[in-house]
Amino acid sequence: MNIAFIGLGNMGAPMAANLIKAGHAVTGFDTQARPEGVTMAASAADAAQGADVVITMLPNGAILRAVADQVIPAMRPGAVLCDCSTVDVDSAKAVAQQAEAAGLGALDAPVSGGVGGAAGGTLTFMVGGADAAFDTVKPLFDVMGQKAVHCGAAGAGQSAKICNNMILGVTMIATCEAFALADKLGLDRQKMFDVVSTSSGYSWTMNAYTPAPGVGAKSPADNGYKPGFAAELMLKDLRLSQQAAESADADTPMGQLAAALYERFVETEGGKGMDFSAMLPRFEKRGRG
């Protein structure tokens, strides 16, 4: 396929590289990045002209809307706009409506798997949009990732990502709290892990991404909490979850509290630039008050 890729940062560049390795022609645009191997265009609109699929990987919904305004008029009828950013549900739906009104297919397809998954082609895509558009882009999802789940209509991909990461943020906090409590109770961390990891406290954050160094799965905790998934990205996703909850009139007290804790951690407690599991040393330093 002829593909335009808009947004070639830490995630977009390796995703585009995997498409090129698979034999697709990729024309890219980014305001700063110039990744090797991608034919760069002078503008997002120039990149989109003649493309079968335009893929975007952008920081937020406002930038997505601005890019959509540029690329949608330049795209050929029947092409598909596939946004892989993590943005608010309202922006995803608005861009999809704009694209469909112009005779285009549209997908919101945020990813899970981080920079490592982007480089290794092992991302998971959570996809919202029409069946025909999903079928068109599915071969590209298969190149860039290991799984693509068609979650429903426009906005459903973002909804799935937001719900998943709200669970992730809440669960990581609970896991870190438990390790810090175990320390203060004099319980050996390895013994606690041996019990919890095979009991009802089992979770992905305990078993697959253990926040305690030297215990359980190898994780960023074993590398000085250098980010696999940065705390500020978790904060972004938790804020999106609460924006969606407000819009949908959903009661999410744990998600709300997790967002507040990560906000404090990132903005006033030095957590920016650290992995989201660095909540454990945060709790280690704190007492009950």
Rg of the chain's alpha carbons, rounded to an integer?
A: 20
Q: Which tokens is 116 given?
A: 């490592």
Burial 11-26 (b: 16+ CB within 10 A, else e): bbbbbbbbbbeeebeb
Dihedral angle at the C-alpha atoms of 32, 38, 44, 45, nearest 10 degrees?
A: 160
Other CB atoms within a 10 A radius of the CB of residue 184 amount to 11
Per DSSP, the three-state class of 259 is helix
Per DSSP, the three-state class of 129 is strand
Q: Catalytic residue, from 21, 93, 147, 161: name it.
A: 161
161 is catalytic: yes
* Angle ∠(183,186,188) on CA atoms, nearest 5: 75
CA 68 – CA 242 distance, rounded (Å): 25
Q: Which tokens is 239 given?
A: 């804020």
CA 160 – CA 168 distance, rounded (Å): 12
Active site residues: 161
